[in-house]
Structure 1
Amino acid sequence: MKLAEQYAYVIGGDPDRDTVDLAVLDTRTGATTAHTVGSADGAGYAAMFTWAKEHAPGRRVWALEGTGSFAAGLATFLAEAGEDVVEVGGAKRGRGAKNDKIDAVRAARTALGRDQQANPRARGLREALRVVLTTRHAVLVSRTKAINELKSLVVVAPEYLRAGLRGHNIARQLGIVEQLPTALDATVEHRTTVLALRSVAARIRFLSGQVDELDAELAALLAQHPAGPALLAEPGVGPVVAAQLLVSWSHHGRVRSEAAFAALAGAAPLEVSSGQRTRHRLNRGGDRALNRALHTVAVTRLRCHPESRAYEAKRTAQGKTHRDVRRSLKRALARRLYRRIEAATRTTELSASS
């Protein structure tokens, strides 16, 4: 159902770091009836809410861009005030005019023209999972860079140092580096090389410790989520994948169906038919982090899950390539894992209400 059939006004919002531009659209005429700019803080949110009640006194809905970033505070404030909020993705920029007021009007018109609306992502446990996942990814990137830096130092180190480090895995190399002696009469090259190796090794140790701490926190958060244990029971789904699935799913009602979840992941092919020609192409859009999570599960299952291996053998006999089979499996996994999340969440909600 379109917004014009439910609300008298749509308030479009274009947020920046310090301000939020708002524009009110009358759903009966499509005309812009008011515009304001407020500060992106508690006092500003309250002032914008008061302004909205004055200029959009009937049934109203807020259409905000960036509810997961700059508009997160406003979306939370409005939800707590009992206001209806929908999420609008950032518009593609063309050659037309662009300013914050125009973007606020565009957000309202975009929401007004849609048949299906997206609810803002949940905060609370979902946001905690997202924060841990994001931080963990950044730490892993830094650790990988540090490991590559260590290996580069080993390559150019003097031969008598390099000989003791060559042929060992990273864990053994760290132990050797930490025990390297530095004599008082050592050459300047020796001293600086050992200093650099120890510095990088200490950084790797520190970052590895951070990963362990974040993994423990991730496991604790998944145990609190109604769908966490159900996802971890699925073959090929580990804590990181389970967390990403829940972060992308967000909450009951945000993703309306398993087909929408597959489309969100970019796992549903797009029809590009024309005339008498019917074909599909890959969807390279959507939530790429969710797509990678499904890819990880698919690759793992094709390696060690009997049912998935039997499916691959069947489709291969039909002429499908390994890549085609993997793509089909990702689509099937999106359906299955979505159903598992929804079922576990509904069961918990029913138990809480009874």
Structure 2
Amino acid sequence: MTSVTDLREVVDVVIGVDTHVHTHSAAAVDARTGGVLDQITVDATPDGYAQLTEFADEHATLRAWAIEGTGSFGAGLTRHLRTRDELVIELDRPVRTKRRNGAKSDPLDAIRAAREALSRTKLGGPRDGGDQAAERHSLSMLLTVRRSAVDAASDARRQLFSLVIAAPEPVRERFRGLKASAMPAVARNLRTRASWDVETRTAVTMLRTLARRIQAFTEEAAEHERAILAIVRSWRPDLLAQHGVGPIVAATVLCAWSHPGRVRSEAAFAMLAGVAPIPANSGQVTTRYRLNRRGDRQLNRALHTVALSRCRHDQRTRDYVARRTTQGKTPREIKRCLKRYIARDLYRLLQAGSTT
């Protein structure tokens, strides 16, 4: 995939696919002229995937598939095609303003997907590949559900704190002087009294409910983290040996990188992570860059976590921060530089480890 720079050199037809929950729309586009040969809409089911394959067989043997949403709505189709050794190209969902005259329909999006793949000089494959596809899918699911549990526990903590602040005095005095982190433990042991009015009794009941919810979600998140750690240790334990890289960071990096060949270079990995500075030069100004706010934000967050950890605990990083500070760099600028270097090092580690 990484050696292909022009699809027209290797295929006769590109099948663009616009994926949705219940249906997929496809368009066969001539690789030489960009003309539309045929179109079809099928159900997003195994029978529908078989129809798409038959549709492609009618037009060309040498073909490529340009699919939007290979990790979501198009995941089933992508797996079907990969088992048949088809050439699959991953495309991002289109930015609304890039659609010509605001035109929007499933057939038009399928045609646009095929033509966009033809216009690209650098092509990327879907993450549903490599020898460790099962591990990557498992990590992706675990990360998603763990993140949901962590967010739910955080929401419950905030709600508990707010209820304590507004609670009647008999309840509030039990929490006076406590930090927010200690409040759930106290709330779990609250008991109602018959002498209290309905507001006070309700406050106690709700605080106890929230405290138990926090405990349940926290235990669930810890269970998922243990499962994540077990998979990472069996797949790439070398990641865990890096400063600041724990199981969650390692899993996030592995899910983004996926397998050898998906990300073509360390610069592409930095762009994927949103840590590659974007040139904003004009005229004689050649040193201006914009902050990159695109890319995989979970991967960006993981690199930020590593940078913060190394700033606190890694002496080499602390020396680097001190040197850059004397050069006039702000803490934010230094962290951005660090994240770019961390992305480079992790990419090289991943690539080197995958060949052993």
TM class, shorter-chain normalised?
A: over 0.9
Name structure 2 gaps, 5 residues minimum.
Answer: none
| Structure 1 residue aligned with 2:37 | 33
Q: Partner of 1:2 in structure 2?
A: 6
* 1:305 alignment partner AA: D
Superposed counterparts of 1:312-351, under 5 Å: 312-347=321-356
Deviations 1:323-354 (A, max 9, x none): 2211111111110011111112211xxxxxxx
> What is the CA–CA distance in structure 1 between the aligned matches of 2:279 and 2:66, rounded to whole Å?
29
Give the superposed CA RMSD: 1.4
- TM-score norm. by structure 1 comes to 0.94
Counterpart code for 1:100? D
**Which residue is equivalent to 1:177?**
187
Aligned residues: 344
Cα-to-partner distance string for 1:55-97 (whole Å, 9 max, x where unaligned):
2x23000000000110000000000011110111111123332
Query: What amino acid is aligned across from residue 183 of structure 1 in structure 2?
Result: R
Specify the code of the residue in structure 1 equivalent to 2:241.
Answer: A
Residue type matched to 2:170 in 1? Y
Change in Cα spacing, 1:183 to 1:316, as seen in structure 2 (3 Å) is: closer
Amino acid paired to 1:15:
T
1:16 equivalent to 2:25? Answer: no
Distance 1:45 1:181 in 2: 58
What TM-score, normalized by structure 2, do the two folds share? 0.93
How many angstroms apart in 2 are the aligned matches of 1:166 and 1:186? 19
Counterpart for residue 195 of structure 1 = 205
- Matched residue SS, 1:124: helix
Question: 2: distance between equivalents of 1:199 and 1:314?
Answer: 51
Partner of 2:91: 88
What is the SS of the residue equivalent to 2:346? helix
Match in the other structure for 2:125: 119
Query: Which runs of at least 4 in structure 1 moved beyond 6 Å after TM superposition?
Result: none
Once residues 324 and 255 of structure 1 are traced to their aligned partners in structure 2, the CA distance between those partners, rounded to angstroms, is 26
Identity of aligned residues (%): 45
| Structure 1: runs of 5 or more not aligned | 348-354
Give the distance between the partners of 1:115 and 1:38, measured in 2 at CA: 30
Task: Specify the alignment match of 1:145 in structure 2.
Answer: 155
Distance 1:181 1:312 in 2: 52
* 1:178 to 1:268, Cα distance in 2 relative to 1, 3 A: closer
**Kept in 1: contact 2:189–2:208 (CA 8 A):** no
Q: Distance in 1 between matches of 2:341 and 2:104?
A: 41
2:310 maps to: 301
Task: Indicate how the Cα distance of structure 1 residues 90 and 178 shifts in structure 2: closer, same or farther if over 3 A, else same.
Answer: closer
1:320 and 1:289, CA in 2 relative to 1: closer, same or farther beyond 3 A? same
- Aligned residue identity for 1:32: V
Question: 1:264: how far off?
Answer: 1.0
Q: CA deviation at 1:170?
A: 4.9
The answer to whether the 8 Å contact 2:157/2:184 transfers is no
Distance of 1:189 and 1:145 partners within structure 2: 23
How many Å apart are 1:172 and its aligned residue? 4.1
Q: Return the offset for 1:179.
A: 2.6
Aligned ranges 1:213-228 → 2 under 5 Å: 213-225=223-235, 227=236
Deviates more, 1:148-157 or 1:102-111: 148-157
Distance 2:25 2:119 in 1: 20
User: Which residue of 59, 63, 68 corresponds with 2:62?
Assistant: 59
Q: Residue 260 in 1 paired to residue 259 in 2?
A: no
Do the aligned partners of residues 179 and 272 (structure 1) sit closer, same or farther apart at CA in structure 2, a change above 3 Å counting? closer
Equivalent position of 2:49 in the other structure: 45
Secondary structure, counterpart of 1:133 in structure 2: helix
| Residue in 1 that maps onto 2:281 | 273
Counterpart amino acid of 1:98? K
Q: Does 1:250 align with 2:250?
A: no
2-structure distance, mates of 1:212, 1:166: 29
Q: Aligned pair in 2 of structure 1 residues 189, 218: CA closer, same or farther (>3 Å)? A: same
C-alpha distance in 2, partners of 1:29/1:158?
Answer: 75
Match of 1:129 among 117, 139, 143: 139
TM-aligned CA distance change 1:31 to 1:233, over 3 Å = same
Work out whether residues 68 and 113 of structure 2, in 8 Å CA contact, stay in contact via their aligned partners in 1. yes
